[in-house]
Amino acid sequence: MTTAAIIGGGIGGLATAALLTRQGWEVEVFERAPSLPTTGTALGMWPEAMAVLEQVGAADAVRRIGIDQRIAEIRSAGGHRLGPEIRAKGATVLISRPRLLEALAACAPGVRFGDRRADLSGLDHDVIVGADGIGSIARAHVVGHDVAPRPLGVDVLIGRCPGETDTFTEYWGPGRLFGVTPRDGGCINWYSEFDPRAVPAGTPDPDTDPRGFLRAMYRGWDPRVTRTIEGVEVETALHYRSRDLPRLPRIVRGNVALIGDAAHAMAPNLGRGACETLLDAAALADALGAAAAFGGDAGPALRAYESARRRAGQRTMLLSRAMRHTALTSRLRTPRDLLLRAVAAVA
């Protein structure tokens, strides 16, 4: 039997497990968490990610649960639209992480929950997939040394509040931005990204008083922002420091391949990380092929996967980083509009 071990039962691990199982592989998924998560932000599934979800068998569930979003727009703090409206070439579906993972898990073989791998020892599978996110333990094996994530110098506060919208809107001001997106379950998703150095002294603490913090940071912004802040469900607020990875010189070694955030964790500013992860999963399954046709040497297939996806993932990582920088710091119209046009072109 042709076998694969997948470290990590997140978006990339579950999608790869489902695709390989469909191709006749015997797959084991090792996931450190005791079960699927019950909380998480809304993720935008762009059209090419929806195409992968079709292959996985999860697209119908995602469309049924998620909310369609066709338009994305960037506005100033005062509410004026900046740059072109970004229209996806097909429907982008917004779905919360727990619902997306449930839809993927329904198509994947049983996951070994509560099984945290310290390293790759003892795994004698034909192929090992490092789908273990930004803090990957498989990455050091592939690259040959530890590669630490890089702090991006910005903090993110996310959560949800009751409401409905079909438009993704991001408001940009110096040193901070505020986003509102569709989400399933009769809620909207909000997020605040800010440079901690630009937080004025005396501002309430985002961990103990998220609404007080948001009120102080976005006072005088567009009324939709201030209304959203009054509705935030403070118990859903989550605060973390944004990080990405340096460009890796390789994402494959021997029979081990990295996918998703383990290979190219990126700033959240383009909303593309999960999509790139799904594209990795599809490219990897495609390169490995049907179990019956697998020749026993994973090398050539994994090198084909690496050529298809290493640079592609890294390009999106760099564009996300540029988007973050432009959103929080740039007051220059020309570079901002050029970047927004580049984003519209990949949408």
Ligand X SMILES: Cc1cc2nc3c(=O)[nH]c(=O)nc-3n(C[C@H](O)[C@H](O)[C@H](O)COP(=O)(O)OP(=O)(O)OC[C@H]3O[C@@H](n4cnc5c(N)ncnc54)[C@H](O)[C@@H]3O)c2cc1C
CB of 268 to ligand X, least distance (A): 4
Nearer to ligand X, 281 or 294 (CB): 281
> Is the Cβ–Cβ distance between 129 and 261 less than 8 Å?
no
Q: Minimum distance between the CB of residue 340 and ligand X, rounded to whole angstroms? A: 17
CA distance 81 to 169: 10
Name the minimum Å distance from CB 87 to ligand X: 17
- What residues are paired with 81 via a beta bridge? 75
> Which C-beta is closer to ligand X: that of 240 or that of 307?
240
CB of 3 to ligand X, least distance (A): 17
In the numeric block, the tokens 């290979």 are attached to 263
> What tokens were used for 204?
């309430």
Residue 256 amino acid letter: V
| CB 227, min distance to ligand X, A | 22
- Residues in Cβ contact with 227 at an 8 Å cutoff, skipping those fewer than 6 apart: none
Gap between the Cα atoms of 131 and 127, Å rounded:
12
CB of 27 to ligand X, least distance (A): 14
Which residue, 159 or 294, has its beta carbon nearer to ligand X? 159
Q: Is the dihedral of CA 74, 76, 80, 83 positive or negative?
A: negative
Q: Which is nearer to ligand X, 78 or 185 (CB)?
A: 185
Looking at the Cβ atoms of 159 and 173, the one nearer to ligand X is 159
Outline where DSSP puts E strands in 183-305.
187-194, 238-244, 252-253, 256-258
Q: Of 10 and 294, which has the nearer Cβ to ligand X?
A: 10
* Chain positions contacting ligand X, by CB under 6 A: 7-13, 30-33, 41, 43-44, 116-117, 131-133, 137, 156, 158, 260-262, 268, 271-275, 277
The three-state secondary structure class of 274 is helix
Measured distance CA(247)–CA(147) in Å, rounded: 10
